[in-house]
Amino acid sequence: MSRSLSSWANRAAESLFAVLFPADCRICAAPLTGISRLPVCAECLNQILPVQGHLCSVCGERLLSLHAVPALGGQVLCPFCSRVEQHFAKAVAYGSYEGGLRELIHLLKYGGVRPAANVLGSMLAEAISMRGTGFGSGTVVVIPVPLHSSRLRERGFNHAGLIARAAVKELNAEGCNGLVEMVLSERLLERRRPTESQTGLTIQQRRENMRGAFAVRRAQEVNGREVLLVDDVYTTGATASECARVLRRAGATKVWVATVARTLKLASQYAAAEDGAAEHEMKPVA
């Protein structure tokens, strides 16, 4: 088939699709003319950009120079990470949890639009490659944050697992900067009890809400190995911190955290909100 005939056939197919299956972009409501399993227009996807600016070397919070705290190894920490010992080595995220990225995550998480996981997984893979995690050379166990069994039955899938699967496929195909292999293990970590909604809770209340909620099923599979914990959104880090804590107790040498999005705050507001929660977990800054 000639190129012109093929192009004509594609346009005809897209026109027929638009007539028989009319749809609008689920983010901006503009009519979709292309054939795609993901009901989001290219313009909306192109407007989802990586986080810019100076970020905390540990949790990825946005920093203002006035509140940055220098530490060993050239690291720069946010006010919270300068006072509180995190259980993970570093957390990276692709973008800010707002606008189109937030809507895309909601399409997967609450709308059941599974093709969104491939796009989100690609963003996650880019964040890991772009921001760097310091992986050693060897196998890294990739573990998505699990849902409780009751929530899993209700939703029918674990969104973090779908995102992780897409990201691992892309990273392994690219070689991930010399990393030997990333191995996905979706059932190695379990959520032992349902947890209350974190909305409206302080960071200390969030941590207490998550305390004891997770357990490692087969410690021998993480003992002596690096772990990459994957989730959709990093808000205060309470979930990531608790998961990392139990993984470290099971023998993981390091736990890295990667999320598609992160809730970003101005450093001055962040410092004021976190001071009270950090009082009893002080650590020295080198």
Domain ranges of the chain: 1-47, 56-281
- How far apart, in Å, are the Cα atoms of 91 and each of 39, 88, 236, 279? 30, 7, 11, 22
pLDDT-flagged residues of the chain (< 50): 1, 19-20, 177, 267-286
The torsion angle over the Cα atoms of residues 262, 260, 258 and 133, rounded to 10 degrees, is -90
Q: Which pLDDT score is estimated for 20? A: 47
Amino acid at 24: D
Q: Which pLDDT score is estimated for 219? A: 93
Q: In this predicted model, what pLDDT tens digit does every residue of 149-184 receive, in sequence order? A: 999 999 999 999 999 999 999 998 876 545 568 999
Q: Which residues contact 275 (CB under 8 A, 6 or more apart)?
A: 79
Q: Give domain 56-281's CATH number out of 3.40.50.720, 3.40.50.300, 1.10.3720.10, 3.40.50.2020.
A: 3.40.50.2020
Q: Which pLDDT score is estimated for 280? A: 37
Tell me the pTM: 0.81
Q: Which pLDDT score is estimated for 22? A: 52
CA dihedral sign, ordered 101, 103, 107, 110? positive
Q: What angle do CA 118, 124, 130 make, to 5 degrees?
A: 135
Name the 3-class secondary structure at 200: coil
Specify the DSSP class assigned to residue 31. B
